[in-house]
Amino acid sequence: MSNVVMLICSAALGALELAMENGIAVPNAAVVEVPCSGRVDEATALRALRQGARTVLVVGCLAGNCRFRTGNHEAHRNVDEAKSVLRQIGLSPDRVEMIEVASVQYVKLVDAMRTMEERAERLGPVKLLEGDA
């Protein structure tokens, strides 16, 4: 698995596509398209970490632009809950982050991906169970 997993709302996916069309070097990440960032619950983010990701970036559309009305608000709540769980088990809450982008904000998206890639390197692998390397 990639060090960074990006769970991206289908409405925000245009930013990633625009970055690639403009020849922007996009950091390596496992990109998972979701119908709405609000569908990404804390268990999904934590599962990605348990399965080998070092960091998880949840990408939603801009506040007020969600076609499902409250999706990005739900996503923020779920990311906050995932951060809380990480704190409780002794892991850095910085492993999970959320940003909101419009489909034209490819620079903002790529910057966030780079930040998460740097965090992944700094934080190293997740160690949860006895025997984890």
Judge whether residue 131 has pLDDT over 60: no
Judge whether residue 33 has pLDDT over 60: yes
| Tokens at 53, concatenated | 């990701």
Q: Given CA atoms 68, 53, 18, 111 in this order, what sign does their dihedral have? A: positive
* Domain chopping of the chain, boundaries: 4-119
Sheet of 30-34: strand order equals 30-34, 4-9, 55-60, 96-100
Mean pLDDT calculated for residue range 9-31: 93
Taking all residues of the chain, what is their mean pLDDT, rounded to a whole number? Answer: 92
Closest C-alpha to 111, from 95, 97, 126, 93? 97
Q: Which residue has the tokens 């990701």?
A: 53
- Confidence (pLDDT) at 64: 83
Cα 101 to Cα 18: distance, rounded to the nearest angstrom: 12
The fold for domain 4-119 equals: Rossmann fold (3.40.50)
For the chain, how many residues are written?
133
- Confidence (pLDDT) at 63: 83
Instruction: Dump pLDDT digits (tens) for 62-120.
Output: 988 888 888 889 999 999 999 999 999 999 999 999 999 999 999 999 999 999 999 99
The structure's pTM equals 0.93
- CB atoms inside a 10 Å sphere around CB 104: 10
3-class SS of residue 48: helix
